[in-house]
């Protein structure tokens, strides 16, 4: 099974090489850490000696989720060396800022040769994986190396659940390599057991994404607060983690909000940095007044859209919001974390596609702490909230 999987993975990589080359050479994606992904170990990691705890967090959301866990591991095991891997560039940047550049590297591609090289270099006794990253070769090599493998914040999305159930006979062999699953909810635990995890290896431990602290107020947040107050901008609407297909809907809603509140300022933060330029073109084509955060000089702004073409600032910027929209939810992307605006006590609007955070959104909805809307109801809901002081 593992041989056929590796052959299939290699074939996908080969056939998709024109696409990957385009992404690397012209879009700049995947360029960073490319050698590390193929198992070439930087000298700093070859010379550091054994890293007894290896934590893997795919991207920004997972890095945020495991931050408190890593702090606790460091406190409880101060004599144990700990390293962190990520898959995305944005996750790498955030992790390096939080845990130190010399502790962070890119997760290897799921080939036996690249994975074995990292395990040979780090020799971890414990591997902690955030969410449900089920890479067959990685898990097998980890188990054979003698490391305990713990999947924390484990969940099975609605979309994955259907496919996993069909491949249960294969998944059972892969899941045998995991020492324990710490599931977000009882439903996730039941799904893990249903797709092949041993019942005695599954625990319900809750959602790590609740274990977050209010983010520090960044200088850009204070600059924007001063600039919006000087311009008497109101309301401030922060639309975060937006994905393709959502910006047009949000711009349409913004036009209607602007008609009712001419001094409205929208902060629009696309989820992926590689989309900053395409969203800027979309804004330019719309004829709307807009600025780029990267070029904004700090002057007063209102009655337009500020494109947040930066990373790592959104959580703090939610503190400026009179109303927040959390993206990935108007289209079928599963939604993103609503806790970032919630920590600031901000009214929150999301679309109907929030499968990745279904328990969290359901709990907020039961307490009237989030509005779930469809695209054609977006502007009406936003206007209703902005007109309702309570």
pLDDT digit string, tens, across residues 311-359: 889 999 999 999 999 999 999 999 999 999 999 999 999 999 999 888 8
Q: Tell me how far apart the alpha carbons of residues 116 and 129 are, in angstroms, rounded to a whole number.
A: 17
Residue 308 has pLDDT above 70, yes or no: yes
Residue 27 has pLDDT above 70, yes or no: no
Predicted pLDDT of residue 160: 87
Tens-digit pLDDT profile for residues 56-98:
999 988 998 999 999 999 999 999 999 999 999 889 999 999 9
Q: Tell me how far apart the alpha carbons of residues 146 and 54 are, in angstroms, rounded to a whole number.
A: 13
Q: Cα-flanking dihedrals φ and ψ of residue 271, to 5°?
A: -65, -40
Tens-digit pLDDT profile for residues 184-234:
999 999 999 999 999 999 999 999 988 878 888 999 999 999 999 999 999
Predicted pLDDT of residue 348: 98
| Active-site entry in 47, 62, 116, 187 | 62
- Give the percent of the chain with pLDDT over 70: 97
Range 110-114, long-range pairs (CB < 8 A, 24+ positions): 110/9, 110/135, 110/136, 110/137, 110/138, 111/6, 111/9, 111/10, 111/38, 111/39, 111/137, 112/2, 112/6, 112/137, 112/141, 113/39, 114/37, 114/38, 114/39
Q: Tell me how far apart the alpha carbons of residues 348 and 362 are, in angstroms, rounded to a whole number.
A: 13
- Give the percent of the chain with pLDDT over 90: 77
Predicted pLDDT of residue 130: 96
The closest alpha carbon to 214, from 360, 344, 311, belongs to 344
- The model's confidence at residue 6, banded by pLDDT at 50, 70 and 90, is confident
Q: Tell me how far apart the alpha carbons of residues 178 and 166 are, in angstroms, rounded to a whole number.
A: 20
Question: Which residues lie across from 267 on neighbouring strands?
Answer: 238, 306
Active site residue 62: yes
Predicted pLDDT of residue 214: 83
Tens-digit pLDDT profile for residues 90-133:
899 999 999 999 999 999 999 999 999 999 999 999 999 999 88
Q: Where are the alpha helices (DSSP H) in the chain?
A: 2-15, 17-22, 34-37, 43-46, 60-76, 89-99, 112-122, 136-144, 158-166, 168-175, 186-194, 219-230, 247-260, 276-286, 314-317, 339-342, 358-366, 378-386
Predicted pLDDT of residue 8: 76
Chain position carrying tokens 């606790």: 72
Q: At what angle do helices 168-175 and 136-144 cross, to 10 degrees?
A: 30
Q: Tell me how far apart the alpha carbons of residues 195 and 230 are, in angstroms, rounded to a whole number.
A: 56
Q: How many helices and strands, by DSSP H and E, does the chain display?
A: 18, 14
Residue 20 has pLDDT above 70, yes or no: no
Residue 48 has pLDDT above 90, yes or no: no
Considering only 100-104, 166-170, 370-374, which range has the smallest mean pLDDT? Answer: 166-170
Computed over its alpha carbons, how large is the radius of gyration of the chain? Answer: 22
């Amino acid at each position: 099974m593992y041989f056929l999987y590796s052959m299939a993975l290699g074939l996908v990589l080969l056939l998709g090489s024109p696409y990957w080359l385009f992404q690397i050479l012209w879009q700049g994606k995947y360029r960073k850490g490319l050698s590390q992904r193929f198992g070439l170990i930087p000298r700093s990691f070859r010379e550091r000696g054994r890293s007894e705890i290896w934590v893997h967090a795919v991207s920004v959301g997972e890095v945020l989720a495991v931050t408190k866990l890593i702090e606790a591991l460091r406190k409880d095991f101060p004599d144990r060396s700990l390293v962190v891997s990520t898959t995305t560039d944005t996750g790498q940047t955030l992790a390096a800022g939080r845990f130190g550049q010399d502790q962070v590297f890119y997760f290897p591609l799921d080939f036996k040769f690249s994975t074995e090289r990292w395990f040979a270099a780090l020799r971890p006794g414990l591997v902690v994986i955030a969410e449900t990253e089920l890479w067959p070769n990685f898990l097998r090599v980890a188990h054979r190396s003698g490391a305990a493998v713990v999947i924390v914040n484990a969940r099975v999305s609605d979309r994955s659940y259907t496919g996993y159930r069909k491949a249960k006979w294969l998944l059972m062999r892969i899941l045998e390599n995991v020492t324990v699953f710490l599931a977000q909810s009882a439903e996730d635990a039941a799904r893990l057991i249903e797709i092949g995890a041993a019942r005695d290896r599954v625990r319900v431990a809750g959602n790590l994404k609740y274990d977050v602290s209010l983010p520090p107020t960044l200088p850009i947040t204070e600059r924007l607060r001063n600039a919006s107050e000087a311009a008497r901008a109101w309301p401030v609407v922060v639309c975060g983690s937006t994905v393709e297909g959502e910006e047009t809907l949000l711009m349409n809603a913004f036009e209607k909000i602007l008609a009712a509140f001419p001094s409205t300022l929208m902060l629009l933060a696309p989820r992926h940095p590689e989309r900053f330029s395409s969203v800027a073109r979309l804004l330019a084509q719309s004829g709307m007044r807009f600025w780029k955060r990267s070029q904004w000089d700090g002057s007063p702004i209102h009655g337009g859209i500020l494109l947040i073409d930066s990373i790592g600032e959104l959580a703090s910027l939610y503190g400026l919001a009179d109303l927040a929209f959390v993206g990935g939810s108007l289209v079928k992307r599963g939604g993103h974390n609503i806790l970032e605006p919630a920590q600031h006590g901000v009214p929150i609007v999301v679309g109907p596609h929030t499968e990745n955070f279904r328990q969290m959104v359901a709990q907020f909805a039961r307490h009237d702490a989030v509005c779930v809307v469809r695209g054609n109801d977006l502007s009406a809901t936003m206007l209703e909230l902005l007109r309702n002081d309570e």
